[in-house]
Amino acid sequence: MSNQCDPEWFFHVTQNKKNTMSVKYHTYVQNKKDYAIDFKFSSKKSGTTEVGASLTVSGETKVMILGKIKVDVNASVKHSWTSELGIETSGKVKAHSTVNGDYGIMKENVYGYKAYRYSNCGTGTKQYMTAWAPYREGWVVS
C-alpha cells in the first residue's frame, strides 16, 4: 500500500536563529560630568515591521511562514506590528559615560525551506530562506 498525502505547499523550520530588532528610533545621552545623572528616553518615531523572508515570497507564503513560526517557535508572533510613540524608559548614566537607546520591534528569526508535497508524499525542490515575524516592542538600553 502506498502513502497518500494531500498535495500542498509547506514551510519547514530547520533552525531558530538569533532574534533581532527592527530599530525605529535611536537616541543616546552622554554624561561629561564627574557624577551620575538621570536620563529619560521617549520614542519619537514609529514604524511597522511585517512577516518577511530573505527571498521574495507571496502573501500566501508569508501566511504559511507565520503559521509555522507560531506553532514551532513563538506563539506570540504577529503578521505585522506598528511601534508606538511616546514610550519612555529612564535610568542613570554614570560619570563620563554614554548610554545608547534603541526603540523598536523584536523579530523572531528562523531558517528553513518552502517546498511542495506531492500526493505520493514526495517533496519537490526545497527553496531555503531566512524568515522573520515581529513579536514584541520595547527599548534596548546599552
- Cα 40 to Cα 86, 87, 94, 99, 101, distances in angstroms: 11, 10, 14, 11, 10
Residue 136 resides in a domain: yes
Check pLDDT > 70 for residue 122.
yes
Region of residue 81 (left: phi > 0; alpha: psi -120 to 50; beta: else): beta
- Please give the pLDDT value at position 121: 94
Q: How confident is the model at residue 3 (pLDDT cuts 50, 70, 90)?
A: confident
Residue 1 resides in a domain: no
Q: How confident is the model at residue 1 (pLDDT cuts 50, 70, 90)?
A: low
**Alpha carbons 84 and 49: distance in angstroms, whole number:** 12
Percent of the chain with pLDDT over 70: 99
C-alpha cell at 138: 520595547
Residue 3 resides in a domain: no
**pLDDT tens, position by position, 68-117:** 999 999 999 999 999 999 999 999 999 999 999 999 999 999 999 999 99
Q: How many helices (H) and strands (E) does the chain have?
A: 1, 9
Expressed as residue numbers, the domain containing 66 is 8-141
Residue 2 resides in a domain: no
Phi, psi of 118 (to 5 degrees): -85, 165
Across the range 5-34, mean pLDDT stands at: 97
Residue 78 resides in a domain: yes
- Count of domains forming the chain: 1
- Please give the pLDDT value at position 2: 65
